[in-house]
Structure formats: structure tokens, C-alpha cells
Amino acid sequence: MVNALVHAYYGEKSEVRIVLKSDSLVVVNSGSMLIDRDIAIAGGASETRNPTLMRIFSFIGASDRAGSGLFDIWLTWQKVFGREPVLSESHAPSTVKIELPLLGNTMNKVKEERNGREVTARVSDDDLLNVIASSLHGMLAKDVRDATGMSERSAQERVKALADEGKLRKVKEGRSFRYFVRE
């Protein structure tokens, strides 16, 4: 949101829109990108359209003028959701749009049967496997909890069930297990 506000063009008919859909968060701001898309995503280069707004946000610690905004967004979405955002630019009128995919329609509660028990799932198996696959070093149940928002107990049950089905490989680590997607 800070990125959109700081880099928006505030001329005539300008707007910043933030729309939460069931499968994504979409942020659209007016104006065009001032630096190349790939350079912006890689980070380290900053060309601020509204330096006063950037300074105001820096006072509360929401910006740093380091050119790391899109880089941080990309890194976070790859780590947490296992997917990259989609960045697009259009002209006449000039707008920049970033679509941040969420876990699809999996945030709806779904009742499913596992090993003879009914459990409430908020994340599909495919999305859960994608989240775990996005980590090079595998994930503990608490990492899965942090990445998906489910309770630690639910995360433990889900990864154990996926391991029992042969979709995950588990490696003992202290008192816990680290889970990896089977290839």
C-alpha cells in the first residue's frame, strides 16, 4: 500500500485502488513506472515520484527509499505463498497494477475426511504442498503455521497426513519433523 501511495501520479483523474478478491490482492495506482520493471523487482534502485510522501512514511518506518519495495513484496510472496506477483503496466491512462496471489479460494472452510476423522481445512493440499516446496530447507509444522495462518495443531495434522499419503518426506529434527515435498 505504501509503495502504491508513494509512487502514484496525483494529477487529474488519479486514483489508488486496493481490492481484496477471494484469490488475490490487487493494487492499482495511476502513473507509469519510472524505472525498468526488472530493475524495480531486483531492488536497489529508487526513483520516487512523491519524495515528500516517501519522507512522511519514513518517519513511521513504513519506507526507507532503498528501492526495496517490490523486491520485498516478491520475496515475501514467493516465501509465503509459493507464487510470484503479477506486475503490469498500461497506458492511456497510465496505470501500474500488481496482483498478489493468495492461496486461491482455499480460505473458505472445507470439511474433509482424513483417516476416518472429519477435519476443517482452510488450505488445499496443493497450496500446502506449494508452500512447503517454496522452502529450500523444508518446513517444520510451525513454519507451515506461519506461512498459512492455520493453527500449529492443524498444521501438524495436515503435514502428517500428507506424509502418510506419501506426498511429503519427513526428517527428524530434535523433537519435531522437517517436511519436504517428495519429487
pLDDT for res 163: 93
pLDDT for res 81: 75
pLDDT for res 105: 34
> What's the rounded mean pLDDT across residues 52-81?
81
The percent of residues in the chain predicted with pLDDT above 90, rounded, is: 13
pLDDT for res 159: 92
Average pLDDT, the chain: 80
Report whether pLDDT(46) > 80.
no
Name the grid cell of 133. 516446496
Report whether pLDDT(64) > 80.
no
pLDDT for res 122: 56
> What's the rounded mean pLDDT across residues 93-107?
72
The percent of residues in the chain predicted with pLDDT above 70, rounded, is: 89
pLDDT for res 113: 45
The Cα 38–Cα 35 span in angstroms is: 9
27 and 100 Cβ atoms separated by less than 8 Å: yes
Amino acid at residue number 138: G
> What's the rounded mean pLDDT across residues 134-159?
84
> For residue 51, with 0-12 CB atoms within 10 Å meaning exposed, 13-18 middle and 19 or more buried, which class applies?
exposed
pLDDT for res 161: 92
Burial string for 92-114 (b: 16+ CB within 10 Å, else e) reads eeebbebbbbbbbebeeeeeeee
Report whether pLDDT(162) > 90.
yes
pLDDT for res 149: 77
- The residue that leads in pLDDT, 21 or 159, is 159
48 and 7 Cβ atoms separated by less than 8 Å: yes
Report whether pLDDT(112) > 60.
no
